[in-house]
Structure 1
């Protein structure tokens, strides 16, 4: 009888365990990164982020400047599962969603974009940059996944 009770308990717990492991049901942790290409000096703020593998993030790239700005990291893009990119208008409403692999994102002046991704590999990614010229001017960032 005790064996039967244990089996029944396992069968009832199985759907809950599967839901907990279903990564599509995670709510993203929103992290905001300011991109300031026309600032003096140009910068990302913050310029260091620490993330956790297996956790869904919505990296909100905010461009408060007066010209478009880029964000990219080849190494980070290779270490995450990109769920989507969400383009937001000036009021924060979704105007477009893009699905598939992401390598680089351009954020229009005064707008924001959210890159939803799940880190699947740990590492230190120090190639976060806008353009090569801005990186040489000091606009760099580091993202570490633990």
Structure 2
């Protein structure tokens, strides 16, 4: 009986160490990052974000420019559980959904993509970038996960 009580106490302690509730029913926090701009400047706007572990996010990536851009961060990709990526059409309705790990997203001119994810590890990710040429031109961003 002593062992059963100890096992129950350990199980309750472990359960309380994790977030309570059904994370699949969580309302997402929406955050937007714009890649480039109509003037042709290579930049992320905003160039820094702060996120929290255990909170569901929809990172809306918008490319209003005439250039193709990438959004990628190996550090962030390794620190989140990716739920899905939604490709939006001109009418803002989903035209495709992608499931599984996400490493990099390419955005064609005028496109919008939403990346649904849940941060599971903290860190400062200064490796948010597009291409080497764009990065050298100053297109960098930082994402902090607390």
Displacement, 1:58? 0.4
Displacement, 1:90? 1.6
Q: Cα 1:74–1:38, aligned 2, differ >3 Å: closer, same or farther?
A: farther
Say if 2:127 is the partner of 1:135.
no
Say if 2:100 is the partner of 1:105.
no
Matched with 2:95 is: 95
Structure 1 vs Structure 2 CA RMSD: 1.4
Q: Cα 1:131–1:137, aligned 2, differ >3 Å: closer, same or farther?
A: same
Matched with 1:71 is: 71
Say if 2:10 is the partner of 1:32.
no
Structure 1: which 4+ aligned runs deviate by more than 3 Å?
A: 37-41
Q: Is the 8 Å Cα contact of residues 55 and 119 (structure 1) preserved in structure 2?
A: yes
Q: Is the 8 Å Cα contact of residues 77 and 102 (structure 1) preserved in structure 2?
A: yes
Q: Normalized against structure 2, the TM-score is what?
A: 0.83
SS in 2 for 1:138: coil
CA distance in 1, matches of 2:53, 2:90: 31
Q: Deviations over 1:48-106 (max 9, x none)?
A: 00001100000000000112211000000000000000000122110000000000001
Matched with 2:7 is: none
Worse overlay, 65-74 or 36-45: 36-45
Displacement, 1:22? 0.9
Say if 2:125 is the partner of 1:125.
yes
User: Superposed, which structure 2 residues align to 1:10-89 within 5 Å?
Assistant: 21-36=21-36, 39-89=39-89
Displacement, 1:138? 0.5
Displacement, 1:110? 0.7
SS in 1 for 2:133: helix
Matched with 1:6 is: none
SS in 1 for 2:30: strand
